[in-house]
């Protein structure tokens, strides 16, 4: 897939940090927890420490305060696309926080926060990894969604 062994080993390593680990332990199933602040804190911590999340690459333009996205290196784009597919496979219950419906809605709402060149790279990676997706019998609906959302 084009990912280095170190990148694969440290993928989501921050989930073992106290800031995330204890939050996840406290709410074993975050989807049913009523503590929205804890959920958001855990996700914010996770996104800000893992460069395969596009949120990691969002900053504030110091000249005018506007949100500014930076282009992601291709190795992280690849990791992000594979992570989306893995999450889509792993969280398939309607009760899961990252189920397909919620994941698709999140990407629809936030794709404009992704740097335009990164969006193009996402599309290229979706096409390049298409055979891998088919091998894992990825949900066709999600596959079509990704292809359509990230058209050039």
Q: Pick from 119, 31, 42, 135: which is nearest to 81 by CA?
A: 119
pTM reported for the whole predicted model: 0.74
Confidence of residue 28 (pLDDT cuts 50, 70, 90): low
Dig out the tokens for 74 from the structure: 């291709």
pLDDT digits (tens, 9 = 90+) for 77-96: 998 888 887 776 666 654 44
DSSP tag of 34: S
pLDDT digits (tens, 9 = 90+) for 108-119: 888 899 999 999
The CB-based long-range contact list for 129-135 (8 Å cut-off, 24+ gap) reads: 129/1, 129/78, 129/81, 129/82, 129/85, 132/1, 132/82, 133/85
Q: What is the pLDDT of residue 90?
A: 67
Q: What is the pLDDT of residue 26?
A: 64
Confidence of residue 72 (pLDDT cuts 50, 70, 90): very high
The per-residue pLDDT of the chain, averaged, comes to 76
Residue spans of the domains in the chain: they are 70-152
Q: Pick from 4, 46, 7, 41: which is nearest to 26 by CA?
A: 41
Q: What is the pLDDT of residue 44?
A: 82
């Amino acid at each position: 897939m084009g990912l280095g062994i170190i990148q694969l080993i440290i993928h989501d390593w921050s989930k073992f940090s106290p800031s995330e680990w204890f939050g996840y332990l406290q709410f074993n199933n975050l989807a049913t927890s009523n503590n929205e602040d804890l959920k958001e804190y855990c996700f914010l911590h996770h996104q800000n420490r893992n460069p395969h999340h596009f949120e990691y690459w969002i900053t504030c333009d110091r000249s005018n305060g506007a949100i500014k996205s930076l282009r992601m290196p291709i190795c992280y784009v690849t990791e992000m696309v594979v992570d989306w597919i893995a999450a889509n496979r792993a969280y398939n219950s309607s009760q899961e926080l990252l189920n397909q419906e919620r994941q698709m809605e999140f990407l629809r709402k936030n794709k404009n926060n992704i740097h335009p060149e990164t969006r193009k790279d996402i599309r290229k990676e979706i096409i390049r990894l298409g055979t891998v997706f088919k091998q894992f019998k990825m949900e066709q609906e999600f596959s079509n969604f990704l292809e359509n959302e990230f058209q050039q």
